[in-house]
Amino acid sequence: MKYRNILGHFGLCLGFLLTSSCANTDLENENRVQETNTSDTFANAKSLERTAIKLEMLYNQKNCKQFTDALPNNFHEFDELYGYDDEKGERRLYSKYQEHLSFFSECPQLSDREKLNKVVNIGINGKWEADATSVLQDLALNLIKRDPNSTKEILDNLSDAEASSFWFFLFDGPHPTDKQNLEKFQLLRKLLGEKSQQSKLLSEQFERLLVVSQNDK
């Protein structure tokens, strides 16, 4: 009987130790994840700050070619630099978006194709958020109208998912069903060729935007 009691106590102690050890391991793992996330956030913030400083310097030097190279190649970083946060307010280069994007679009050292490459990369997985994104949409639309063939070639080299996300971004906004948007859509279909792959993807995304707009009402 005494032997059984000893074994029982030993089992309880062992169970407690194992439970405590597992809890400590879970806590340590959670702390490591939090430290990694904090470290990544800090590193991203430093990287964005370096990019912002470089863009301001190149803009002041009127070096539009290197300025374009320094512009982000994805929507997330573009928005982190030039966007507006409803809670935190203006982001780092928000006050400069108009002059910076005009500087880029008017760069004489860049072909329309080079400019298209940049706006397409930024527009992939993008979304309308007024201000800087509206200017980018207008800029992209004008470039596409000037060089529809290069537009098709650039987008044909992307996956259908990436190209589709760009077309969705191009027409995204608070009033996708207005008359102006419909006219832009019809014009782009003609310029791209109504039977082309990009015209097909554009049509699918425009229809998707109309559905989303109806559901939001």
Side chain identity at residue 5, one-letter code? N
Is 205:192 a contact under the CB 8 Å cutoff? no
**Same-domain check for residues 110 and 76:** yes
The torsion region of residue 136 among left (phi > 0), alpha (psi -120 to 50) and beta comes to: alpha
Whether the per-residue pLDDT at 130 is higher than 90: the answer is no
**Same-domain check for residues 104 and 25:** no
**Same-domain check for residues 166 and 192:** yes
Over the stretch 139-180, which tens digit does the pLDDT of each residue have?
Answer: 999 999 999 999 999 999 999 999 999 999 999 988 878 899
Length of the chain: 217
Strands (E) in 17-147, as ranges, are: 84-85, 89-90
**Same-domain check for residues 40 and 85:** no
Looking up tokens 């409803």 gives 86
Distance CA 158, CA 2 (A): 76
Query: Which of these, 158, 164, 64, 74, lies nearest to 118 by C-alpha position?
Result: 74
Q: Is 160 exposed, middle or buried (0-12, 13-18, 19+ CB in 10 A)?
A: middle
**Same-domain check for residues 129 and 196:** yes
**Same-domain check for residues 152 and 206:** yes
- pTM equals 0.79
**Same-domain check for residues 39 and 123:** no
pLDDT tier at 5 (50, 70, 90 boundaries)? Answer: low
Over the stretch 8-34, which tens digit does the pLDDT of each residue have?
Answer: 554 544 454 455 555 566 666 665 555
Distance CA 156, CA 23 (A): 52
Number of domains in the chain: 2
The torsion region of residue 130 among left (phi > 0), alpha (psi -120 to 50) and beta comes to: left
**Same-domain check for residues 110 and 149:** yes
| Domain with 196 in it | 62-216
**Same-domain check for residues 21 and 97:** no
Distance CA 165, CA 160 (A): 8
- Which of 53, 71, 94 is the last residue in one of the domains? 53
